[in-house]
Structure 1
Amino acid sequence: MIISTEWIYIAMGIVCLFCSFYTFFDKTNKRRILSGLFYFIYAITLLFGKIIPPFYIGLMVLAMVVIVAFGGLQKGGYGETAPDELEARRKRLGNWLFLPALLIPILTVLGSKLLVNVKIGSRLLLDPSNPTLVALGVACIIAILTAMLLTKSRPQTAFKESRRLLEAIGWAVVLPQLLATLGTIFTKAGVGTVVSKLITKVIPENSVFWIVFVFCVGMALFTMIMGNAFAAFPVMAAGIAIPFLIKRFGANADQIAAISMFAGYCGTLMTPMAANFNIVPAVLLDLKDKNHVIRVQLPTALMTLAFNIILMYLLVR
């Protein structure tokens, strides 16, 4: 392959590395050494995670936890442009400002669908193990370059703005990786088997509706606990979807996977553990109630979860 997932992680690591350097030298940040160290360690895990032994990666993660636990992670100063100048730039660019943001989903879909089997010579263009992730990474890079051309900005501006957003997210930036790892650990520990045994004791084995109900609600609940549907899916799939819905009732695996992830996303809308979805927006919008986003999303999440249960039942029945 020419563009692998590893290259995307390296690109992320380079951005994070430059952000850590800016933080180290930001005198407005009273904890700039510890804050810079947090993002520096994170950059190292992205850049060299494939070659560093897991034990040492674990030690680095623990070091990051200690930094956060003792209040070492703080925001700095960013030398933001005056509001009047920002408004003048906004008027000058008009709706073209939306172009970089629109390019990301458009190019991701096009790349993952049209370029997945494209070869240059004998080598695939995109990593076949995860073409969507690679397409997303490439789309983000193209969007950044487009934004720089539109605003006539230097590369330093892109790194500085990346740092501003990175520090706004703070410790939650590592949450997706940690939660995905947690899902793998739960699966290895046999939590799925425990769930399967519990289902056979509580739910009638021939009741499709109740098995679907427990599966979808379980996906939502596990996602609320872990903060990520990707972490919940291996556990619930091993415990309910594979032994009951797929093997016993002959359900379509692709349909079950898609709907169950959708049910998990309902849980994402209802939990502060999904910090990058629910807490970070509240911080960026400077909301007084940090759970306001969750409260607004709650009715939609419950209605969507009910829809998923009915849809899956009709498809499996």
Structure 2
Amino acid sequence: MLKLAHVWWLAAIILGAAAFFDARHRRWANATFWAIMTVVFAGGDAILAAHQAGNRLPTQIVGAAVVVLALIAGTGIMPRASTANVDAATSQAARLGHRLFGPALLIPAVTALVYIVAKYVPPLGPLLVETKQASLVALAVGCSVALVAATMITRSAPTQALRESSRLLDALSWAVVLPMLLAALGAVFAATGVGDAVASLVGMIIPTDSRVACLVAYALGMIVFTVIMGNAFAAFPVMAGGIGLPLLVKQHGADPAVIGSLGMLTGYCGTLLTPMAANFNIVPAVLLELKSQYGVIREQWPTAIVLAFVNTVLMYFLAFR
């Protein structure tokens, strides 16, 4: 049976390959960064088991490792690799043509198929995939199948995939791990009572007996927290716990489904505005070699403002019917 641990081991192989290739080329900061990530991913299950058994030392070591990662990234000793030498890849892409889309299309197709089998085809599904983490495991299977298809289409050795993964990781640099850290930060904020603090602050600033004021505070809060943390998933538990549930749903009787769905979409308007959403806004600028790393954001902000306004209006008319 495929489990979530297998996904982490697969990620550890890719990260470990990046560390190995960087060490061979004496890019020591990059190699150290990816090596730390490799150990954390490979030892994830053992670290969790030790924590559940009452041994806090492994998790404390992981916390120290995260601090080291931040220091490596923050001191600027881990520059992004150049993406300028792409002539060979461009030539091969022209030769292969539309066949290159095959592996990319296999990812969603295989992911959906594996997920459906895991969830809705008993007893076969639970024998193949860990059902509690079916979506993530299914995505890993889809990516693995696409990798095999890509090596067959391009007639490349499997090791070439590791080399290209290493090159891409060095091009993206530390920004590739930012979404994971920011999502974890949202869970930390929720667990430490930031939602309650937000509720108290909102109660002092706005008239909580006004549904319009509470709704605007919720929408703006989703945008602002998403801008800060770079991820609407990280912002949602804070704003839902601070404003969405206690004020909009319980006090004003709003439909929680509308508040949740449109609130998340409003949060994603903040994603369009922030460099903290590195995978959406900074990574494309690096890969496309734009003159400004904020070029993507400059093109997106008008859409973000209009969409946030429309979402807020829709929430008002749909949530309080």
**What is the rounded CA distance, in whole Å, between the counterparts of 1:222 and 1:206 in structure 2?**
23
Compute the TM-score of the two structures, normalised by the length of structure 1. 0.89
**What is the rounded CA distance, in whole Å, between the counterparts of 2:110 and 2:254 in structure 1?**
33
Matches within 5 A, 1:219-230: 219-230=222-233
The 1:239–1:162 alpha-carbon spacing in structure 2 relative to 1, beyond 3 Å, is same
The 1:197–1:69 alpha-carbon spacing in structure 2 relative to 1, beyond 3 Å, is closer
- Which ranges of structure 1 fall in alignment gaps of 5 or more residues? none
The 1:35–1:192 alpha-carbon spacing in structure 2 relative to 1, beyond 3 Å, is same
Structure with greater proportional helix content: 2
- Aligned equivalent of 2:78: 73
Whether 1:93 aligns to 2:96 is yes
- Aligned equivalent of 1:16: 15
- Aligned equivalent of 2:40: 45
SS of residue paired to 2:119: coil
- Alignment counterpart, residue 272 of structure 2, candidates 262, 265, 269: 269
Q: Residue type matched to 1:156 in 2? A: T
- Aligned equivalent of 1:117: 120
Whether 1:107 aligns to 2:110 is yes
Compute the TM-score of the two structures, normalised by the length of structure 2. 0.88
Q: Residue type matched to 1:49 in 2? A: G
Which of 115-124 and 101-110 deviates more? 115-124
The 1:283–1:198 alpha-carbon spacing in structure 2 relative to 1, beyond 3 Å, is same
The 1:228–1:17 alpha-carbon spacing in structure 2 relative to 1, beyond 3 Å, is same
The 1:202–1:33 alpha-carbon spacing in structure 2 relative to 1, beyond 3 Å, is closer
What is the Cα deviation at residue 120 of structure 1?
Answer: 4.4
The 1:187–1:109 alpha-carbon spacing in structure 2 relative to 1, beyond 3 Å, is same
- Which ranges of structure 2 fall in alignment gaps of 5 or more residues? 48-57
For the Cα contact (< 8 Å) 2:83–2:171, is it kept in 1? no
What is the Cα deviation at residue 309 of structure 1?
Answer: 1.1
**What is the rounded CA distance, in whole Å, between the counterparts of 1:260 and 1:127 in structure 2?**
31
**What is the rounded CA distance, in whole Å, between the counterparts of 1:125 and 1:255 in structure 2?**
35
CA distances 1:258-305 after superposition (whole Å, capped 9, x unpaired): 222211111011001111211111111111111111010001111111
For the Cα contact (< 8 Å) 2:118–2:131, is it kept in 1? no
For the Cα contact (< 8 Å) 1:229–1:261, is it kept in 2? yes
CA distances 1:106-160 after superposition (whole Å, capped 9, x unpaired): 4334444453233445835444434322222222222222111110111111001
- Aligned equivalent of 1:57: 62
CA distances 1:41-94 after superposition (whole Å, capped 9, x unpaired): 11111111232321010111122223233433245589966x2x5454333321
For the Cα contact (< 8 Å) 2:206–2:214, is it kept in 1? yes
What is the Cα deviation at residue 166 of structure 1?
Answer: 0.6
SS of residue paired to 2:142: helix
Whether 1:245 aligns to 2:248 is yes
Whether 1:315 aligns to 2:318 is yes
SS of residue paired to 2:274: coil
**What is the rounded CA distance, in whole Å, between the counterparts of 1:303 and 1:79 in structure 2?**
36
CA distances 1:188-241 after superposition (whole Å, capped 9, x unpaired): 221111111223333333433332222122111100011111111111011011
Q: Residue type matched to 1:65 in 2? A: A
For the Cα contact (< 8 Å) 1:270–1:298, is it kept in 2? yes
For the Cα contact (< 8 Å) 2:118–2:124, is it kept in 1? no
- Aligned equivalent of 1:131: 134
